[in-house]
Amino acid sequence: MRIVHLGLGNFFRAHQAWYTDNAPDAAGWGIAAFAGRSRGPADALAPQDGLYTLVARAPDCDRFRVVSSVSAVHGADEQDAWLGYWSDRAVAVATLTVTEAGYLRGTDGGLDQQDAGVRADLTALRADRGGPVRTAPGRVVAGLRARRATGAGPMTLLPCDNLPENGAALRRVVLELADLVEPELAGWIAEQIAFGTTMVDRITPATTEADRVAVQAATGLADAAPVGTEPFAEWVIAGEFPAGRPAWEDAGAHLVGDVRPFEQRKLWLLNGAHSLLAYAGSVAGHRTVADAIADPRLRQRVDLWWTEAARYLALPPDEVAGYRRALLGRFGNPRIEHLLAQIAADGSQKLPARVAPVLRAECAAGRVPLGAATTVAGWVLHLRGGGAPVADARPDQVAELARGSLADTVHAVLAWLVPGWERHQPLVDAVLDAAAALNRRAA
């Protein structure tokens, strides 16, 4: 194995593992993949030697492929195995798919030192060089400490979650935790470890029993852990790889000097529209992205949001227009059952990157962004019990936002999301109007 991965979920298996499997030098780049929180994914994949079926669902047909790049699977509790890989000089890259919430950042973007998991990991790391640790930053720091102790040399950490400048975000929380554990370790990491930045894009719903039945019917394989995804895939990567990497570019990935224009395009146009549909669509009674985008009124609000966001993208207008057209086809694919409730989770972690920058810029330019206001209104109603159930990494904080009247919640959400603009009455009125319209739809 030359890659270690944290987050043995569907997106990783539809994306990084798939790109590695398609690289011409894949045979030399096995992945040791660890579950993020439980043994479930590992227990499903271990009897299959890490093999699984990827089902690319086009509107008119399914395409099946067995992916073989995952050479070893481990549960979240296998600390000795985790440290063993990091101590191996052959391991050159560590990738992560732990969701936005998994980086455990505070409101300033640094490590949330008040988080109970962070505090527990800090105590464990200080007391015992072998752990156990539970959070993603803690596990990375434990792994890097083992690597330093064994002289295994430089490597690259490559986060693959929907965070702006995710490489810098990971570097900051890792260095801050390492400094709390052992300042010399933080210095070694800063000098020896590279942090790449990525933009990842492939719509990948959760696996259903229907997926397993379809795989067996089409291939004869009894696959406990197939992955259904869309045909489209995009991976944009920036960074240094001092110990090497697979030839991902030969599998379709783009190696660039600056990920930000692609990152913003994807975060604002795809993920931002997903959040609008997740909150406003579930309040309106829809269940999936395909259902919601077929609603003419929601489609209109998505178009408004795309026009607002496109003003701030540093990409050619024709490229942005083409991406928007492609998104409509991807969202409307009836054979991708992407649940709005899945997208709605962890809004406190997602909306600051997906919506807040455009909302702030539009208001500063003297415009009232009706598309962005719809997303905010949908989240307000979601926090107040409408639409998809609330599942958030900061449950107490978002519950506090929802106290009081609807107007109180709107003010509190805007103050949290775009501080200062909660006093901008045209914006407040736009959010309240959007919330009233969504409530009428739900009635």
pLDDT, tens only, 337-384: 899 999 999 999 999 999 999 999 999 999 999 999 999 999 999 999
- Distance from C-alpha of 314 to C-alpha of 245, rounded to nearest angstrom: 29
- The helix (run of H) or strand (run of E) holding residue 219 is helix 209-219
Terminal alpha carbon distance of the chain: 55
User: Are residues 170 and 159 in contact, defined by beta-carbon separation less than 8 angstroms?
Assistant: yes
Angle, CA 183 vertex, CA 181 and CA 186 arms, to 5°? 90
The CATH fold assigned to 260-440 is N-(1-d-carboxylethyl)-l-norvaline Dehydrogenase; domain 2 (1.10.1040)
pLDDT, tens only, 57-72: 999 999 999 999 999 9
Helix axes 136-150, 183-192, angle to 10 degrees: 80
pLDDT of residue 43: 94
Averaged pLDDT, 184-197: 98
- Distance from C-alpha of 260 to C-alpha of 203, rounded to nearest angstrom: 20
Tokens of 44: 């499903």
- Distance from C-alpha of 414 to C-alpha of 383, rounded to nearest angstrom: 13
pLDDT, tens only, 118-164: 999 999 999 976 668 999 999 999 999 999 999 999 999 999 999 99
pLDDT of residue 38: 80
pLDDT of residue 293: 98
- Distance from C-alpha of 101 to C-alpha of 84, rounded to nearest angstrom: 26
pLDDT of residue 240: 98
Residue ranges, CATH 1.10.1040.10, the chain: 260-440
Describe the strand order of the beta sheet including 197-201 as a list of residue ranges.
Answer: 197-201, 234-238, 254-255
Averaged pLDDT, 281-292: 96
Q: Which residue has the higher pLDDT, 51 or 162?
A: 51
Averaged pLDDT, 417-426: 95
pLDDT, tens only, 229-239: 999 999 999 99
- Distance from C-alpha of 416 to C-alpha of 412, rounded to nearest angstrom: 6
Other CB atoms within 10 Å distance of the CB of residue 369: 25
Residue 443 has pLDDT above 80, yes or no: no
Tokens of 355: 């919506």
Give residue 442's pLDDT band: very low, low, confident or very high (50, 70, 90).
low
% of the chain beyond a pLDDT of 90? 94
pLDDT, tens only, 377-414: 999 999 999 999 999 989 999 999 999 999 999 999 99
pLDDT of residue 131: 65
Q: List Cα–Cα distances, 213 to 12, 60, 340, in angstroms.
A: 22, 18, 23
- Distance from C-alpha of 280 to C-alpha of 386, rounded to nearest angstrom: 9
pLDDT of residue 129: 65
What amino acid is encoded at 195 in this protein?
Answer: F
Closest CA to 233 of 394, 94, 54: 54
**Sequence-ordered alpha helix ranges (H) in 16-135:** 16-22, 40-45, 79-86, 116-127
- Distance from C-alpha of 77 to C-alpha of 59, rounded to nearest angstrom: 39
- The helix (run of H) or strand (run of E) holding residue 14 is helix 10-14
CATH class of 3-257: alpha beta
Residue ranges, CATH 3.40.50.720, the chain: 3-257
The mean pLDDT value of the chain amounts to 96
- Distance from C-alpha of 235 to C-alpha of 370, rounded to nearest angstrom: 31
- Distance from C-alpha of 400 to C-alpha of 387, rounded to nearest angstrom: 18
According to the 3-state scheme, what is the secondary structure of 274-301?
HHHHHHHHHHCCCCEHHHHHCCHHHHHH
Q: What is the total residue count of the chain?
A: 443
pLDDT, tens only, 430-440: 999 999 999 98
